[in-house]
Structure 1
Amino acid sequence: MTTPSLQDGIDKAGSPVGLLWQPGADPWTPEVVAREYAGWRVEQRAWHEGVALLNLSHHMYDMWIEGPDATRVLAEYGANNFEKFAVGQAKQYVPVTRHGHIVTDGILAREAENAYLLSGVPAAQHWVQYHAEKGGYDVSFTTDPSSAFRPGGGDPKLFRYQIQGPLALDLIGKVFGGPIPETKFFHSTPVTLDGRSFKALRHGMAGQAGYEFIGPWEHAAYVHEAFLRAGEPLGLVQVGALAYTTPSVESGWIPSPVPGVYSDPELAEYRAWLPLFGIEGKRPLNGSYFSPDIEDYYVSPYELGYGKMIHFGHDFHGRDALLAAKQDESLRTKVTLVLDPEDVRRVLGAGDDPGFVLSYARNRVEGADGLVGVTMQTASIDPVGTVLAQTLVDPAHAAPGTEVAVVWGEHPGPGTDPGADLGFPRIRATVQPSPYDRHARTAYRHDA
C-alpha cells in the first residue's frame, strides 16, 4: 500500500485548512518525560530563582548532514551567514520559501567543515533533504526521529540535558570539579566527566544562565545521575513536560510556525514527497482566529524577529522576497501580551485559580476597530503572576502599554463565517515587548 502524502491529505480534505483545522486540539507537550516532577509552578520558579534540569533527549528530531556539498545546500536553502559559522558553533537555521515565508526554524550545529547536525521540528530537515536529493547535491543524511516516532522504539542517539537558572554555573562547577571553559553564546566546548566525553553548548532559556549538555546516549544515565546527585544540596528541580513548554513565552521564541509550503503550485512535487503523517500534515490549527486561506497563517522571518540572522551576502532560495520584506512596513510585530489576571480567572479558571494554561491556538487579538493580531503561543507563567501570549500584531498596536483584547474560544472552522460573532469571551491584555524577560531582551545574545 502506498503511503499517503501531504498532497493526498490536502486533496481529500479539500484544502490545507480543511486538513489542519482541529478545534479543541490538545497542545503539544514533550514525549516520554513526566508531565510534572515537583509541580509546574515550582519547576518554573526553579530556573528563575535556583537551578533546573530539563531533559530534551526524547522530543527532538536530529538529522546529520554530511558531505562535500553540505555547506552549499544549507546555504542555498537557508538565509543564514555561512561565511561566519565556526566549527562548534550553532545557529537558528532560517529556511524560507521563494515567497519569503518561513518553513520553520531549527538548531543547526556545525560539527566539522562539511558536517552539520540539524535538530528540532523536522519541517526544516524535510526541506533541506528534499532539495538536496532533487538537486543532486553530494551529501548524505542520517535521521534520528523523536522517541515517540522512532521506528521500532529504542533509545535516542544523543542525550540532551539543560542546566538552567541563577545557580546553574554553581552546579556545573560541582559536577566538573570547577568551571568549564568560558564559552560564547550558542558555541560549544568539549567536556569530560569521569572519562566520558561530550559537549557543553552555551545556551539559556528565559534569559537565564546555563548550558545544554549533549553526548552519546551510552553516557546518558551516568551524566543525569551526576547532575541529580550534585544538585541536591542546591535544590535542583527536574522540569516536567508542562513547565518545559513555557519558557519560550518569556524568551520570545515562537515554536513551530505554520510552514509556508501548502499553496505554492511550484511546491506540489514537494508536498507529494512529504508524508501525510508528518509534522506538516498533523500539526493542528485551532483557536478563535479562523481563515479558509492557509496563506493567512504564513509568517515572515522578520515577523518572528529573525531579521538579524538574515545574510544577504550570498544567493539563497527566497532572497529576493526577503529583500522586499525588509522594506515592508506593514509586516506584523512580535510582542508579548500580558493577560489581565482577573479576566484570566473569570474566563479560564474555576474559582481563584485558573490552573495551568497552555495553548498554541491562533486566537484573535482585537483593538477598538476589530482584528489587530493573532496569538501564537499562550501559557501560564507563575513567577509573573498571570498568563502571557507570544503574539503578532499590526505595527499600529505594537507599542508597549497598548490595550487590546484576546478572544478566547474555538472557531468551528470551514462552514462558518470567519468573522462571525460566536459570543466568545474577551480577555483584556496589555502589549509588552518580546522577549518579555528584560535580560533575554537586552543582554542574552550580546556575546553571540
Structure 2
Amino acid sequence: MPSPSLQDGIDTAGSPVGLLWKPGAEPWTPEVVEREYVGWRQEQAAWHEGVALLNLSHHMFDMWIEGPDATRVLADHGANNFEKFAVGQAKQYVPVTAEGLIVTDGILAREGADRYLLSGVPAAQHWVRYHAEKGGYDVGFETDASSAFRPGGGPPKLFRYQVQGPLAKELVENVFGGPMPETKFFHTADVRLDGRDFKALRHGMAGQAGFEFIGPWEHAAAVHDAFLTAGEPLGLVQVGALAYTTPSVESGWIPSPVPAIYSAPELEDYRRHLPLFGIEGQRPLNGSHFSPDIEDYYVSPYELGYGKLIHFGHDFIGRDALLAARDADRRQKVTLVLDPDDVRRVVGEGNDPGFVLTYARHWVEAEAGAVGVTMQTASIDPVGTVLAQSLVDAAHAVPGTRVAVVWGEHPGPGTDPGADLGFPRIRGTVQPSPFDRHARTRYRRNG
C-alpha cells in the first residue's frame, strides 16, 4: 500500500487548516545538540558580548543539484539573480508559486559552474526537485536529511559550526594562526587546519560578526575541539538548541513561513507527489490567529523583506505576479518589543516566564482592530524582554506605534474564528526589523 500523500491528508482532514491546526504544539528546536550548555541566558549573552560556538550539523536538510541544467532549473523556479552568482557565493533562495507567494526559502551555495547545494527546511528542495523531474531537466540530485530523519541513522555528510560574537575574529585568528582571507558577506573562502581542508562562510547572526565553517564530517571532531581549546581563554560558550532558535527574532529572518501550495488547483499533482509525513504535512499551525482559509497564512517574499533579492531579468514561475505586486500596499515586517510586566502577568502568571519560544501566529491589535500577526516570538535576555517578529499593516509599522498581541490558543475548526475567547493582551511597541541596529544597517553592506 503506498504511503499517503499530502493531498490524501488534506482530503481526510477536510481542509489544509484542518490538517495543520494543532493548538499548543511544541515549538521546533534543533535535534541532537544539548538543549542548554550553560543556560540559555548566558548563551544568548555570548554572541552579544563575547564569543559563541554553535553546532548546525544535524538539523538542516541538504540537497546537491548538479548537471548541465542546474542553473537553469534553479533560475526557472526561483526569483534570484543568477546572472550575478559567483562560485563560492551563497544566497537566500526565493522560490515562489505562480501567484507570487513564498514556497519557503533556503540557503543556496554555488559550489561549481554546474553544482549547487541547497540547505535548510526541505520544502524548497521538494519544489525544485519535483519541477526538475517533471520538466526533464538534465540534472541530478544527492540528498542528506537531518539527523532526526536520516534513513538508517549515521552521521551527516557535512559538519557546520558557527563562530559568532564580538570576539569571533580573535578566536578564528587564534585557531588558524592569522586572519581569515578577505571575504564578502555570504561568500566562502578555502581554509586549512592541521592538514584538513574545508570552507569558511562569512556570516553573522543578530548583527554580530562571525563565520560558518563547513566541511566533511570526518573532520568534525578535530575542528570542534580546536575551537573549544582556542576559545577557552576567551570565555567561549557553546550554544544549545533553545538559544539557537532565538537570533532570527533579532536579525529579522522569519523561519519556515507556510508554503503557499495547499490550495491552487494546478498544484494538486504536486500535493499528491509530496508525502503526508513530511514538512508540508506536519509543520503545525496554532495561536490566536485562526482562519479556516489556508490562504490567510500565505505570505509574499516582499513581506518577508526579500524584495531586493528578486531579479526580473529572467523568466521564472511567479514573475508576472511579483511584478504586478511590486508597488502594492502590503504588510511590513516589524519587531514588536513586548511589555515585560505584561509578559510576566500573561505568560509567567505573575513571575519571570523563563524561556519563551513560539512560532504560533497571534493576532496583533490596535484601536482599529486586527492589524497584523506574529510569526516568531522569543525571549531575548540581553534586551530584557520578549520580542515578536511580526507582519503588520503599513499604517501601524511606524516605530513607536503601540499595539497589543492577543495571546492564546484558538481551538481551531468548529469554533467561530471571530469569537471572543477571552484571550489576554500583551502590550507591545513597534520597532524596526531587523531589531539589531548592526544587522539592520551594516549586516550586508559588503555583500
TM-score class, shorter: over 0.9
Output aligned runs, 1:20-419, within 5 Å: 20-329=20-329, 331-419=330-418
**What is the match of residue 440 of structure 1?**
439
Query: Any idea what the Cα deviations from partners look like across 1:31-62, whole Å, max 9, x if unmatched?
Result: 00100001000000000000000000000000
Could you say what secondary structure the match of 1:203 adopts?
Answer: strand
- Superposition TM-score, scaled by structure 1 size: 0.99
CA distance in structure 1 between the partners assigned to 2:24 and 2:425 by the alignment: 18
CA distance in structure 2 between the partners assigned to 1:256 and 1:130 by the alignment: 19
Could you say what secondary structure the match of 1:191 adopts?
Answer: strand
**What is the match of residue 11 of structure 1?**
11
CA distance in structure 2 between the partners assigned to 1:78 and 1:399 by the alignment: 31
Q: Which amino acid aligns with 2:298?
A: Y
**What is the match of residue 422 of structure 1?**
421
Aligned residues with identical type, % of pairs: 83
How far apart are residue 18 of structure 1 and its match? Answer: 0.2
How many residues are treated as equivalent by the alignment? 447
Could you say what secondary structure the match of 1:345 adopts?
Answer: helix
Give the ranges of 4+ consecutive aligned residues of structure 1 lying more than 3 Å apart after TM superposition. none
Q: Which amino acid aligns with 1:38?
A: V
CA distance in structure 2 between the partners assigned to 1:80 and 1:147 by the alignment: 29
* Structure 2 gaps, min length 5: none
How far apart are residue 353 of structure 1 and its match? Answer: 1.1
CA distance in structure 1 between the partners assigned to 2:381 and 2:249 by the alignment: 12
How far apart are residue 352 of structure 1 and its match? Answer: 3.4
How far apart are residue 336 of structure 1 and its match? Answer: 0.2
* Structure 1 gaps, min length 5: none
CA distance in structure 2 between the partners assigned to 1:9 and 1:186 by the alignment: 38
Q: Which amino acid aligns with 2:420?
A: D
How far apart are residue 386 of structure 1 and its match? Answer: 0.2
Q: Which amino acid aligns with 1:345?
A: R
CA distance in structure 2 between the partners assigned to 1:101 and 1:89 by the alignment: 25
CA distance in structure 2 between the partners assigned to 1:324 and 1:335 by the alignment: 24
Q: Which amino acid aligns with 2:365?
A: E
CA distance in structure 1 between the partners assigned to 2:89 and 2:81 by the alignment: 12
Query: Any idea what the Cα deviations from partners look like across 1:137-156, whole Å, max 9, x if unmatched?
Result: 00000000000000111000
Could you say what secondary structure the match of 1:44 adopts?
Answer: helix
CA distance in structure 1 between the partners assigned to 2:393 and 2:291 by the alignment: 17
Q: Which amino acid aligns with 2:210?
A: G
How far apart are residue 351 of structure 1 and its match? Answer: 4.1
Q: Which amino acid aligns with 2:336?
A: L
CA distance in structure 1 between the partners assigned to 2:33 and 2:236 by the alignment: 17
CA distance in structure 2 between the partners assigned to 1:289 and 1:78 by the alignment: 29
How far apart are residue 349 of structure 1 and its match? Answer: 1.0
How far apart are residue 324 of structure 1 and its match? Answer: 1.1
CA RMSD of the aligned region, Å?
0.5
CA distance in structure 1 between the partners assigned to 2:186 and 2:232 by the alignment: 27
CA distance in structure 1 between the partners assigned to 2:62 and 2:340 by the alignment: 39
How far apart are residue 354 of structure 1 and its match? Answer: 1.1
CA distance in structure 1 between the partners assigned to 2:324 and 2:277 by the alignment: 34
CA distance in structure 1 between the partners assigned to 2:196 and 2:405 by the alignment: 50
CA distance in structure 1 between the partners assigned to 2:392 and 2:180 by the alignment: 42
- Superposition TM-score, scaled by structure 2 size: 1.00
Query: Any idea what the Cα deviations from partners look like across 1:387-427, whole Å, max 9, x if unmatched?
Result: 00000001110000000000000000000011110000000
Could you say what secondary structure the match of 2:107 adopts?
Answer: strand
CA distance in structure 2 between the partners assigned to 1:10 and 1:100 by the alignment: 23
CA distance in structure 1 between the partners assigned to 2:140 and 2:290 by the alignment: 40
How far apart are residue 350 of structure 1 and its match? Answer: 4.3
How far apart are residue 271 of structure 1 and its match? Answer: 0.2
Could you say what secondary structure the match of 1:225 adopts?
Answer: helix
Could you say what secondary structure the match of 1:204 adopts?
Answer: strand
CA distance in structure 1 between the partners assigned to 2:163 and 2:111 by the alignment: 22
Could you say what secondary structure the match of 2:204 adopts?
Answer: coil
